[in-house]
Every structure is written in structure tokens, then in C-alpha cells.
């Protein structure tokens, strides 16, 4: 059964949600949606550079995504309008990535897979990378959980508690870059931010605490993966977008819960 491509796809998607669920909660709490977009769009440049220099796509994507995240984090405190800065960097990185990819003939055909994901082509080695990366992200967030929560509430509160808000921001930056690197083959650069945000926004409708929201976001993510793969199989639609579409449907269905509460 392990050789079945659909089973591998489900395993990869489920493994990814253990990173995107808790991390997506912080993205929602901190209003970092555009931050995630900028990091994810930069991943295409990482893919192009990886093929150009003959290195692992995961390593190349991680390096570029981390560089983008660190750049945004460094510049955000220097008086630049955050949304404008992120917009410029996100679209510039995506444009340079597409231009670099167009210069490589072997990459042109496969580019859509990196933009929108190709979860059905996940191999055993990809599974190891996804689960290993998700485990590192989950462990990092668990280790810094209380500090991240405190810094999310208020920087002054964090400093009065002996915490450095910049260190907590750095932990999130590293977690986000690593998540982008392992997620790009599953849902693609254009849909990674959606998989981070939509399940967390859904879980927020019924969660009664931070930990409950992180767990709920993971659960919604798993349901989205399974429903999306089922829909992709039934209606012959792209798997990555189908997963995000399923997540969006679950979000819409969750809205009455908030009104009822």
C-alpha cells in the first residue's frame, strides 16, 4: 500500500499540517499573511537557482526563503510601510524567479508544479523531507511556545518578562522558511500562504485558547488534505489547489459557529 501514489500524497499532506497548523496560528495572530506570501513567492527564485547550480531544491528553496524572511524582518523596523515593503519584495522575488526559470529550458515544463504543487508525485525521499521538516518546525514552536505567545501579545510585556521579541521573531522566521521549503512541492509557492492561513482562520471560529487553536488548525488542515485529494480524484482537478479549495469550504462552513457563539 505504501507504493500507492495517493497514499504517499495523503501522508505528505498530513505531515505538512503538523507544521502549518501551529505556525499558521501565529501568522493569523500576528497578521503576518503578507509576510508568508513574500517568503513563499521567493521560493520560486530558490527553485530556479537550485536547478542552475545543481543543488537540492529543498536546500535552495530554504536558503532563498530564509534570506527573504530575514530581509523583511530586518527592514520592517526601519520606518518602511510594512504592507508596501512586503508587496514590493514578494512580487519582485516572484518575477526574478520566473525570469531565472525561463532561462533554463529544462525547468519551463515543470514550473507549474512548483507554482501550484504536485503532491501526487511525492516520493519516499520527499516524505522523509516533509515529515522531518515538519517535526523540526513543530519542535521549534513547542520549545519557544510561551515566549512566542508573550511576544505576540505585546513586545513590552515580553521584555518585562525577560524575553527578547526579536529572538521570538527570528524563531518564527526560521520556522516559516523551513515550512515553505518542505511545502513547495506539495501545494506550490502560490498556495503555501493559503494553507497556513485558512485552516488557522477556520480553527479560530471555535477555539477557546491558543493551544486549542493550533490543534484545531492542524485538524482542519488534515481534513482539507483528505477532502482535497478525494475531490481531485473524483473530479480530475489539480491536487494542490483542490486541497486549498477544500480548506476554503471548511472555513465558510465554520462561519455560523462564530455567529452562534
Write the DSSP string, 114-130. HHH--GGG--HHHHHHH
Evaluate whether 43 touches 115 at the Cβ level (below 8 Å): no
Homologous superfamily (CATH) for 5-189: ABC transporter involved in vitamin B12 uptake, BtuC (1.10.3470.10)
Half-sphere CA count of 211, side-chain side, radius 13 A: 3
Cα-trace Rg, the chain = 18
Its pTM stands at 0.90
Distance CA 51, CA 29 (A): 36
Q: What is the pLDDT of residue 222?
A: 97
Q: Domain-by-domain residue ranges, the chain?
A: 5-189
The per-residue pLDDT for 2 is 45
Please calculate the CA angle 156-159-162 and round it to the nearest 5 degrees.
Answer: 155
Q: Please, what are the averages of pLDDT over each run of 10 residues along the chain (261 residues)?
A: 76 96 94 83 89 88 89 67 76 88 69 85 92 96 94 87 88 92 89 94 91 96 96 92 95 81 62
Residue 144 in grid coordinates? 519557544
Spatial distance between the Cα atoms of 53 and 127, rounded to a whole number of angstroms: 24
Contact assessment for residue 32 and residue 201, using Cβ atoms and an 8 Å cutoff: no
Q: How far apart are CA 76 and CA 169, in angstroms?
A: 12
Amino acid at each position: 500500500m505504501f507504493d500507492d501514489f495517493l497514499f504517499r500524497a495523503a501522508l505528505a499532506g498530513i505531515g505538512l499540517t503538523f507544521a502549518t497548523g501551529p505556525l499558521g496560528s501565529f501568522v493569523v495572530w500576528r497578521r503576518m499573511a503578507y509576510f508568508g506570501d513574500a517568503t513563499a513567492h521567493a521560493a520560486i527564485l530558490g527553485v530556479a537557482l537550485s536547478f542552475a547550480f545543481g543543488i537540492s531544491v529543498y536546500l535552495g528553496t530554504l536558503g532563498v526563503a530564509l534570506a527573504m524572511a530575514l530581509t523583511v524582518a530586518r527592514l520592517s523596523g526601519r520606518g518602511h510601510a510594512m504592507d508596501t515593503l512586503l508587496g514590493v519584495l514578494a512580487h519582485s522575488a516572484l518575477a526574478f524567479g520566473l525570469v531565472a526559470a525561463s532561462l533554463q529550458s529544462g525547468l519551463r515544463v515543470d514550473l507549474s508544479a512548483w507554482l501550484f504543487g504536485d503532491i501526487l508525485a511525492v516520493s519516499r525521499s520527499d516524505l522523509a523531507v516533509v515529515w522531518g521538516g515538519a517535526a523540526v518546525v513543530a519542535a521549534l514552536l513547542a520549545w519557544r511556545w510561551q515566549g512566542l505567545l508573550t511576544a505576540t501579545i505585546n513586545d513590552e510585556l515580553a521584555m518585562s518578562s525577560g524575553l527578547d521579541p526579536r529572538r521570538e521573531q527570528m524563531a518564527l522566521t526560521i520556522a516559516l522558511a523551513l515550512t515553505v521549503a518542505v511545502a513547495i512541492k506539495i501545494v506550490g509557492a502560490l498556495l503555501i500562504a493559503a494553507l497556513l492561513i485558512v485552516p488557522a482562520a477556520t480553527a479560530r471560529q471555535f477555539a477557546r485558547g491558543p493551544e486549542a487553536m493550533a490543534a484545531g488548525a492542524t485538524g482542519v488542515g488534515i481534513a482539507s488534505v483528505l477532502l482535497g485529494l478525494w475531490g481531485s480524484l473524483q473530479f480530475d482537478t489539480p491536487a494542490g489547489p483542490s486541497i486549498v479549495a477544500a480548506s476554503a469550504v471548511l472555513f465558510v462552513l465554520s462561519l455560523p459557529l462564530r455567529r452562534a457563539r
